[in-house]
Amino acid sequence: MKAAFPEITEIRYEGASSKNPLAFKHYNAEEIIAGKTMRDHLRFAVVYWHTFRGTGSDPFGAGTMQRPWDDGTNSVKNAQNRVHAAFEFIQKLGAPYYCWHDRDVAPEGKTLAETNKNFDAVAKVLQAEQKRTGIKLLWGTANAFSNPRYMHGAGTSCNADVFAYAAAQIKKAMEVTHELGGEGYTFWGGREGYMTLLNTDMKRELDHLAKLLHLAVDYKKQIGFKGQFYIEPKPKEPTKHQYDSDSAACLNFLREYDLLPHFKLNIETNHATLAGHTMQHELEVAGAAGALGSIDANTGDELLGWDTDQFPTNIYLTTYTMLSILKYGGLTTGGVNFDAKVRRESFEPVDLFHAHIGGMDAFARGLKIAVAIRKDGRLAEFVKARYASWDSGIGAKIESGKTSLRELETYILKKGEAAANNSGRQEFLENLINEFI
């Protein structure tokens, strides 16, 4: 097969002083930092949907992307050829993982049986390319939102047949993920929400969504799939309200339906901002619940209020992200998955390299800075000292559950007033972070 990126050789680490746009300035896969290689800390993944299926179309205009390896047809043959281009790209980039939706990799047929056959035919090539290159599947997922049948949702559809179809589709996507040695499986509820409450039985829809996830948990056990299940929060787009709106809503849903032991969260930056939160907030909510699993790394445009899925280049963002990830023990099953797309105006194949190199370097810097901040220790010491009143005396008593309102009243009556507060020192801490950036 002809090379898809003939002018591009393996992307190498050349150090911070390099002016080569096709080299890493900060990501040095083998470099050990805080006891692990950068490769193992960051576990980068390339997404199939944006990088190999993104056309550059938007609501106002047609696709713009030049993808010489793609013949533009929906044939299985074209899908198989595309796999070679994808693995050439991922290998030259040096990312250890990739992710897909079932419908990104293989075309839909007229029936589910035909679609599954197409999927198997392409999965065979994925399997061979994984073997040839050593690139692994971070997670698979089912696209249960694009086809018109999913207009009312998949697990939350008012049409029971559509629920059954989604279940069948998820079953197959889990099987293929398992066959390809996938390390996880993600559920993003593309249309699991509503456009208007006037036509919606919310309680029933939520019950159904939980049913679908329980069926998946059961099937996972039956086929012996050991990968991690993830839910990916997103508040809106395409629906007005998505049930998995943010980390807290997902955790509440999982707890209510006894699903929490089986799931972790896959947190996406632009989804966090759509929810009116920071990425760090979403990571902290997930981490505190022991449910921080993986991240979809991207960013939005502060002046555009939609899911622009841009590549992350902001060092503060990657620093705060890595601070939270390291705090909760680092990425184990999950990774830094670039759910990001090049701009419509960046239509040449080489732009895919610039985008990923930039994202990987931004995360490498975030990792190094976060490790340095943790090593320095002043930030953690400050936070620890801020809560010192809880380490002994009345604070320790409250935390251990050994007090009552009556006792607390007696305590304060005796003191007359609470001990004086200390400054929150926000500006001091912001300056401290800037010492490391």
Q: Which residues are part of the catalytic machinery? A: 101, 104
Do residues 73 and 84 lie in contact, with contact meaning Cβ atoms separated by under 8 Å? no
Contact partner, 175, from ligand XUL, Co ion, none, Cβ < 5-8 Å per class: none
The least CB distance from residue 219 to ligand XUL, in Å, is 19
Contact partner, 284, from ligand XUL, Co ion, none, Cβ < 5-8 Å per class: none
CB atoms within 10 A of CB 164: 11
Q: Does 268 bind Co ion (CB under 5 A)?
A: yes
Compare residues 246 and 307 and give the one whose CB is closer to ligand XUL: 307
The least CB distance from residue 68 to ligand XUL, in Å, is 25
Contact partner, 183, from Co ion, ligand XUL, none, Cβ < 5-8 Å per class: none
C-alpha to C-alpha distances, 332 to 48, 251, 294, 351, nearest whole angstrom = 22, 20, 8, 30
Q: Enumerate residues 6+ apart whose C-beta is below 8 A from 37.
A: 29, 30, 31
Place of tokens 């193992």: 40
Residues that bind Co ion (rule: CB under 5 A) add up to a total of: 3
Compare residues 11 and 340 and give the one whose CB is closer to Co ion: 340
Compare residues 125 and 312 and give the one whose CB is closer to Co ion: 312
Report how far residue 316's alpha carbon sits from residue 435's, in angstroms, rounded to the nearest whole number.
12
Q: Enumerate residues 6+ apart whose C-beta is below 8 A from 22.
A: 8, 11, 350, 353, 354, 357
Do residues 325 and 369 lie in contact, with contact meaning Cβ atoms separated by under 8 Å? no
Q: Does 244 bind Co ion (CB under 5 A)?
A: no
Q: Does 88 bind Co ion (CB under 5 A)?
A: no
Q: Does 282 bind Co ion (CB under 5 A)?
A: no
Closest to 325 in 3D by CA, of 289, 357, 302, 294 = 294
Report how far residue 116's alpha carbon sits from residue 43's, in angstroms, rounded to the nearest whole number.
30
Using CB under 5 A, pick the residue from 339, 342, 364, 373 that binds Co ion.
339
Residues that bind ligand XUL (CB under 6 A): 49, 101, 141, 186, 188, 232, 234, 268, 296, 307, 339
Do residues 95 and 356 lie in contact, with contact meaning Cβ atoms separated by under 8 Å? yes
Tokens (6 digits) for 195: 């456009």
The least CB distance from residue 270 to ligand XUL, in Å, is 7
The least CB distance from residue 170 to ligand XUL, in Å, is 12
Write out the residues near Co ion by the rule CB under 5 A. 268, 296, 339
